[in-house]
Amino acid sequence: MRHHALPNKTVIVGAGGHAKVIIDILRADTHVELIGCLGQHEGNKVMGLAVLGGDEQLPLLYAQGVRHAFIAVGNNERRRKLAGYAESIGYELVNAISPRAYIAANVTLGSGVAVMPGSVIQPDTTVGSYSIINTGATIDHDGVIGEACHIAPGCTLSGNVSVGDLSFLGTGTKVIDGMRIGAGCMIGAGAVVIRHIPDHALAVGVPAVVKRIQASIEPNVSRRET
């Protein structure tokens, strides 16, 4: 007689709009049993899932036998920080991959990755841990997406495009083949990238022009795209 493995008890870290999409995706995953969310307003519900308290609940839930988590926070830096914290406790970060996304052969995904409905990831592409490939975004062959990136809805990346860690590509960004976008960049919505973008650059427009080099991504900006 074959024994089926029980689904993994999983907590969602986050209780905003991004968490709603993640909950919707993970409810379609038979390997996952969602036990609740962590957020600011304990007692509220997100998509019918109870908010159990704040991030301080992570060690307690782990002690109670919850071993899996997903960090559903739109801000790249905060998402990577929370992911590291959860992993330091011992959590395994699951991936949230919509059954309505297309992931080709030889695609490599890290842990804690979100791949939203309508997105396409083509062959020999690598997506780093904690990154978001948002609704309808497409990444063509041989792409390299770094850690804790956010490729916002409707972005189009041609082949051989690389994006550095913690970079944010706003809604509808288009990138021609072979471009390198550095680490910690912010590309404004609707930009068209036809030249390499250096690390920590803010670039906007058609074609995209670097407006300034910044020390880090501005807080909370990426949440507008969740």
Spacing of C-alpha 50 from chain mean position: 22
- What token pair was written down for 161? 């495009």
Asked if residue 150 belongs to a known ligand binding site, the reply is yes
Distance of CA 138 to CAs 126, 130, 182, 188, Å?
Answer: 13, 17, 19, 17
Catalytic residue from among 3, 31, 41, 141: 141
161 C-beta neighbours (distance < 10 Å), count: 24
Q: How far apart are the first and last CA of the chain?
A: 45
Mark whether 141 is an active-site residue. yes
Question: Under a CB-based contact definition with an 8 Å cutoff, are residues 73 and 14 in contact?
Answer: yes
Spacing of C-alpha 103 from chain mean position: 15
Question: Under a CB-based contact definition with an 8 Å cutoff, are residues 175 and 191 in contact?
Answer: no
Asked if residue 196 belongs to a known ligand binding site, the reply is no
Instruction: Tell me which amino acid residue 212 is.
Output: R
- What token pair was written down for 152? 């916002």
As beta bridge partners, residue 109 has 127
Q: How many residues in the chain? A: 226
Q: Catalytic residues, which ones?
A: 141
Please enumerate, by residue number, every residue annotated as part of a binding site for acetyl-CoA.
Answer: 150
Please enumerate, by residue number, every residue annotated as part of a binding site.
Answer: 74, 150
Please enumerate, by residue number, every residue annotated as part of a binding site for substrate.
Answer: 74
